[in-house]
Structure 1
Amino acid sequence: MRKTVIALAMLSLAGCASQPANTTASTTNNNAVVASSQSEQFTELADKIWQALSAPHKTALPDMSADALEQRYQRNKAWLEQLNTIDTTQLDKQQKINHAMIHYTLKNHVDEYRFKAHLMPLTAEGSFHSSLAFMPGYTQFNSEQDYRDYVAKLGTINRYMEQQTAWLRQAIEQGYTQPKAAMAGFEESILAYIVQDASDSVYYDPFNQQPKFIDDQTWQQLQQQARQVIDEQVMPAYDDYFTFMVSEYLPNARESVGASELPEGNAFYKNRIEHYTTTDLSADEIHNIGLQEVARIRAEMLRVIEQTGFDGDFDAFVNFLRTDEQFYPETAEELLQYAAWIAKKMDGELPKFFKTLPRKPYGIAPVPEEIAPKYTTGRYSGTNRDDRAGFYWVNTYALDRRPMYQMEALTLHEAVPGHHLQNAIAGELEGVPEYRQQTYISAFGEGWGLYSEYLGLEAGFYQDPYSNFGRLSYEMWRAARLVVDTGMHAKGWSRERAIDFMASNTALSLHNVKTEIDRYITWPAQALSYKLGELTIKRLRAKAESELGADFDIREFHDAILENGSVPLDILEAHINDWIKQQ
């Protein structure tokens, strides 16, 4: 680099006879040097940050002590300051996206520590005790050492859960608990992991099938070691956590529900809005958008009710949907098979809407029974491993609360063309850093998922008016989130008011309404990302259709939306505007 600068200076001195032309050349070349320097500096820094943030913990869970968290915070804060010094105008388009993505991830680490997220490492759906239970499925076992490392890691669960519990005790003292009403029954999710026989534990699953590369004697020793660690360390850790939750945390959880009631609550909620929506919209603006969308969708729902021939008003129709047995599956298998049929039907429609399809397949499975009672109706569980498929989870708990008329919308959102398609394409992007493949931005991903439900109309789904009402109910569900989330966290709404608003505007079962409201209470602002993301994608599509006219190609448009992975909404908008010009 130094030699290049000297050479450029000598060139400039040698060209005095044609000063204007050579000054331009010199300036251009110097700009190129500066851009190259900024590019290299950013790439080196971003790679260093990602390697640290994604470093695998093969033999031990992360240290959650106060000193360790403070050290990681100071490191991340210093890196964030370095990222902010990069002149992004000197980066090319892809590197600008890279910068935005690593900045998004790192800033969230800094912000979460600053707002003491470590004092609230749990939501109504679960906590570290349930997240840990995914460890067997996320661990790769390709050698004997992998199994030994896994057993060693199991041996650190006790320490890890003790550290997390210590933070929860501080949360009680400092007023950072989750709301009591939203956490009712939470202890059952802990109890579900406690077993009398170690071989029945989810943590023992990797030892149920002997691999060919381990001999019988070694395998038996590994099995014995795993059972011993589960019996002597893992189960006691869960017992202690259950006791703490029942005797200390839940009785002392706060009575209020809004994030605004927390210390620095208003600033915290504003920060979470920015993080989950990648916009600078205020809570009031989002609330009003939600009310407008609720009114629009309500009118469309009334038209669909007329199509069914039902004799009664909106409330009577919704009560009919919630109580009539014809709309509910009799068995879990029936529900799963229906979901599979819908997914396979959509698989056949994908080439009409996309030029680029992913290699990674997906499966369909029930939500794990340990977490199902307080879990949402369905979810996509992705994977970064190349030897595992992604999975569309369907909640088969309480079948009388899982209406079949909502399954088309749910399946298109969670499987294809929704989360699986988007996540798999992102994971298979070529020529981009790993963090571009693995970072998930809620406003983009959930916005795409909700847009995918709408896309089902063009793919020939929702032919039955009840199913179409189910689609509208799901869209209403996401619109109502804008109202109830901001209502509870910024406007002083009670849990009961939020439940009433959701129940009176959607066809969700009352069980689902309550579990959803509790999710929003304990996960502020995340629920805002769906509708705001979808509205952005729809607006960009309308603009592309208007400006391109007959040249608009839906397959090209969808590829353009997905080709950079999960990105902030402002970057998506700039990219699509560029794409429209290029067409």
Structure 2
Amino acid sequence: MKIHRHLFFVSAILVSLLLGACAQKQESPVSFATDAKITNSDKLQATKALRTLADDVWADYLEHYTYLRLQEGLPVERFEDWTLQEYRRELRQAQRYRARLEEINSLALSGDDLITYEILAFQNQDDGSNDDDYWLVFDITAYQAPFAFQTNQQALEAQSLASDSDAQHYLTLVGELADIIDQLVAKVEGQIERGIYLPKPALPSTRLTWKGMQSGLPSAIRVDDKRLEALSVEQQSQFNKALELLIENRIVGGFDKLLAVIGEEYEANAPETVGLAQYPNGLAVYKRWVRTMTTLDLSPEEIHQRGKAAVEDISQRMEAIRVQLGFEGTAQEFLLHLKIDPRFIAADAADVEKRYLEYVHRIEPKLGEYFKSQPKAPYGIKRLPPGAEAGMTYGYYDGPKASQPVGYYYYNASNLPERSMVWAGSLIYHELLPGHHFHIATQDENKALQKFRQNSLDTAYTEGWAEYAASLPIEMGLYETPEELYGRYIGEIFLAARLVVDTGMNALGWSLEEAREYMAKYAIQSETEIASETLRYSTSMPAQALAYRIGYEKIWELRRHAEATLGDKFDIRDFHHIVLSDGSKPMAVLEAKVERYIAAERD
């Protein structure tokens, strides 16, 4: 299965493992005669083969991905390989999985097993990925490799040092961390040979990121004396000497090489323009990323127009609220007004938390009307560590785990005078309940799912559900004031605008300046935030920003379809159970499941 390693990232929910490319029209990898009688033996054989395959996929994940080993409490034996050879291995592995799927009779599967089959079939389709997909990803940007390095750093912190063999393994892992830096240098050099350069506008932040890592990583790798108490004095001395040599020669030296390769000569050759379409075969690569991230077969042009239509629709709803409030200025002037309105400025961290909890308490009595079941895991709100706030625009949801059985939304309480809370309701309904907490905790608590399914996270589903969840309080009547509803629309229009600028820059020839002007027209985010966001879409994680709004629209499309088809038989609690009960899946797989639910209800 293709695991796009370079898209490990810290998002508003957690570090997500983004799974392989999908297409909208579901096709079984093999056709079986539909008129043949399916026997119990057929069912047992298909079920066994499918579950074995899913277990093998999960084992492959655990073998190759540090984040998942840490999540499962397993020792980290080695770090990731960022080479072209490893990327090709992933493609070959997907081919082997396709061959095994062809041997499974999907007509003999039902329930969770059928869903698992459909997910695996989608994720392992041959979508034409090739070496271009490797070379046209810039792993060195501020949004990419640093997050993987954070995961590796966590692994080093968790590494036992109770024996000399443990200490030697720690040194081995530090060496592998240095190997990653060397692999990044080799990839940049390979891109240069092919005339592929990171755009100039992204170079300052990229260099700043790597200089910061060069400065901070060595101290994070060093081990304090307390952790080494189990070793003899001689073993401690030998360990520290070996570690210092690795840090100086391999880690700091590796960063020197990386910074040198993206120096003045690199910048002189780097393009001023942004977006994937400017590179040979870049548009084809971008289209594959669109399928990967949206899990639907949509063209960039279609998404672009859908984004423009959504922005126009939301703009009209926002204008109606301004008229209702008697505001006579422009939309931008109203945004500026909301940014400084003292009603939406929290006094301190405690006030931030109080405001979030007020929205939580509003929705809690309504949840039983909309959901058949709720996750057992409790939830809460906590402030981010102040030291982490400068590098994080908002905050993130962290799901329950063995070490922390509570799902928390960690909020940012820095620079409060500049953080209007007019959209606090929409944010907390997205992040906590009935958004990320309902999805992630429910999926984790469903022990009938194999580990492959319990840990599956598709961005379009994950963020699409959270956005859908944040829209439910509109019909619940929980955005109690016009300003609160306007705050919800601020979040909506931001995500809709991303459909326009992401496709615009990567496929339709938009400049960075055009994209920033378009976003500034509609978004409440600051000029600095918009500058950072547009660079991310166009130089680092193309198409990732599409998943949020596309997933949201798809879930609403499926709900309206179910309502129209079932009429009086439609039950919102049943629909939400169908969407949530067995966790994340590509949108096309969710659509197939909803169609089966509709057919069953009609019968």
Q: Structure 1-normalised TM-score? A: 0.81
Q: Is the 8 A contact 1:177 1:253 kept in 2?
A: yes
Equivalent-residue separation in structure 2 for 1:67 and 1:504 (angstroms): 44
Q: Which residue of 2 aligns with 1:579?
A: 597
Paired residue type of 1:473: I
CA distance in 2, matches of 1:218, 1:339: 52
Distance 1:499 1:365 in 2: 30
Instruction: Provide the residue aligned with 1:445 in structure 2.
Output: 462
1:6 aligned residue: none
- Once the two structures are superposed, the pairs formed by residues 402-413 of structure 1 within 5 Å of their partners are 402-413=419-430
Q: What residue number does 1:156 align with?
A: 176
CA distance in 2, matches of 1:542, 1:222: 66
| Contact residue 178 and residue 251 of structure 2 kept, 8 A | yes
Partner of 1:498: 515
How far did 1:182 drift? 4.0
Please tell me the residue identity of whatever aligns with 1:126: Y
Residue 356 of structure 1 deviates from its aligned partner by: 2.5
Within the candidate set 40, 43, 50, 2:51 is matched to 43
The one-letter amino acid of 1:315's match is Q
Gaps (5+ residues) in structure 2? Answer: 1-34, 67-75
**Cα deviations by residue, 1:175-196 (Å, 9 ceiling, x for unpaired):** 4443322454233333444457
In 2, distance between residues paired with 1:353 and 1:533? 20
Within the alignment, does 1:297 sit opposite 2:334 as a pair? no
For 2:48 and 2:578, the matched residues in 1 are separated by 27
- 1:267 aligned onto 2:267: no
Distance 1:48 1:145, change over 3 A: farther
- Residue 173 of structure 1 and its aligned partner are, at CA, apart by 2.9
Q: Distance in 1 between matches of 2:234 and 2:121?
A: 47
Would the alpha carbon gap of residues 72 and 554 (structure 1) be closer, same or farther in structure 2, given more than 3 Å must change?
closer
The more displaced of 573-582 and 190-199 is 190-199
Change (3 A) 1:60 1:437: same
CA gap 1:168/1:389 in 2 versus in 1, 3 angstroms: farther
Q: Does 1:180 align with 2:189?
A: no
1:490-513 deviation line (CA, Å, top 9, x unaligned): 211111111111111233332332
Corresponding residue for 1:28? 37
Which residue of 1 is the match for residue 304 of structure 2? 287
Tell me how many residue pairs correspond in the alignment: 549
3-state SS, counterpart of residue 115 of structure 1: helix
In the other structure, the counterpart of 1:74 is: 92
Whether the 8 Å CA contact 2:493–2:522 is kept in 1: the answer is yes
- Report whether the alignment pairs 1:55 with 2:72: no
Counterpart mapping for 1:410-489 below 5 A = 410-489=427-506
Aligned to 2:394: 377
Distance 1:78 1:449 in 2: 34
C-alpha distance after superposition, 1:34-81 (max 9, x if no partner): 454444333333322331132265132123344444444333333334
User: Structure 1 residues 240, 142: CA separation in 2 closer, same or farther (over 3 Å shift)?
Assistant: closer
Alignment of 1:74-113 (within 5 A): 74-84=92-102, 86-106=104-124
For the residue of structure 2 that corresponds to 1:519, the secondary structure is helix
Question: Would the aligned equivalents of 1:482 and 1:528 in 2 still touch at CA under 8 Å?
Answer: yes
Aligned-residue offset at 1:391: 4.6
* Matched residue, 2:190: 170
Q: Residues 235-254 of structure 1: matches in 2 within 5 Å? A: 236-238=253-255, 240-242=257-259, 244-245=261-262, 252-254=269-271
Q: What's the counterpart of residue 10 of structure 2?
A: none
Letter in 2 for 1:537: I
Would you say the 8 A contact 2:133–2:285 is kept in 1? no
CA contact (8 A) 2:460 2:586 kept: yes
Paired residue secondary structure (1:186): helix
1:240/1:325 CA distance change after superposition, 3 Å? farther
SS in 1 for 2:596: helix
1:289-438 correspondence to structure 2 within 5 Å = 289-322=306-339, 327-329=344-346, 335=352, 338-339=355-356, 342-343=359-360, 346=363, 349-362=366-379, 364-366=382-384, 372-373=390-391, 375-382=392-399, 387=404, 389-395=406-412, 399=416, 401-438=418-455
Looking at structure 2, the residues matched to 155 and 547 of structure 1 have their Cα atoms a distance apart, in angstroms, of 60
Return the offset for 1:358: 2.4
1-structure distance, mates of 2:203, 2:480: 39
1:185 partner amino acid: S
Task: Pick closer, same or farther for the CA change 1:304–1:545 going to 2, 3 Å.
Answer: same
- Give the residue type in structure 2 aligned to 1:82: R
Task: Please tell me whether residue 116 in structure 1 is matched to residue 136 in structure 2.
Answer: no
State the partner residue of 2:14. Answer: none
Contact residue 115 and residue 268 of structure 1 kept, 8 A: yes
Separation in structure 2 between the aligned mates of residue 368 and residue 486 of structure 1, nearest angstrom:
35
Give the CA deviation at 1:300: 0.4
Give 2:209's aligned residue. Answer: 189
Tell me the alpha carbon deviations over residues 422-451 of structure 1, each in whole angstroms, 9 at most, x when there is no partner: 122112222222111111112211111111
Q: Deviations over 1:121-174 (max 9, x none)?
A: 537552223322134556895965697555642342111211122112222332
> The residue matched to 2:92 in structure 1 has which SS?
helix
Match of 1:528 in 2: 546
CA separation of 1:330/1:93 partners in 2, compared to 1, >3 Å: closer, same or farther?
same
Query: Cα 1:252–1:59, aligned 2, differ >3 Å: closer, same or farther?
Result: farther
Consecutive unaligned residues in structure 1, runs of 5 or more: 1-25
Verify: 1:556 aligned to 2:574, yes or no: yes
The offset of 1:102, in angstroms, is 2.9
What is the letter of the counterpart of residue 575 of structure 2? F
Tell me the SS of whatever aligns to 2:582.
coil
Name the amino acid aligned to 1:41.
A
Distance of 2:344 and 2:237 partners within structure 1: 46
CA RMSD of aligned residues (A): 3.8
Aligned 8 A contact 1:401 1:512 in 2: no
1: CA distance, partners of 2:545 / 2:325? 31
| 1:437 to 1:410, Cα distance in 2 relative to 1, 3 A | same
Q: Is the 8 A contact 1:175 1:263 kept in 2?
A: no
Tell me the CA shift for residue 95 of structure 1. Answer: 2.1
Which gives a bigger RCO, structure 1 or 2 (Cα 8 Å, sep 6+)?
A: 2
Q: Which has the higher helix share?
A: 1
CA 249–326 in structure 1, closer or farther in 2 if over 3 Å, else same:
farther
Cα distance between partner residues in 2 of 1:166 and 1:368: 36
CA contact (8 A) 1:59 1:152 kept: no
Query: Given the alignment, which residue of 227, 243, 259 partners 1:229?
Result: 243
Task: Tell me: CA distance 1:97–1:279, structure 2 relative to 1, closer, same or farther (3 Å).
Answer: same
1:279 to partner: Cα distance: 1.4
Distance 1:330 1:253, change over 3 A: farther
Larger radius of gyration: 1
Amino acid at match of 1:53: Y
The CA deviation at 1:297 is 0.8
CA deviation digits over 1:269-320, x for unaligned, max 9? 1111111112112222222222221111111000111233323122322233
Name the counterpart of 1:64: 82
Matched residues in 2 for 1:223 and 1:347: separation?
A: 57
Separation (CA, whole Å) in 2 of partners of 1:136 and 1:103: 34
Matched AA of 1:310: F
Q: Please state how far the C-alpha of 1:234 moved relative to its aligned partner.
A: 4.5
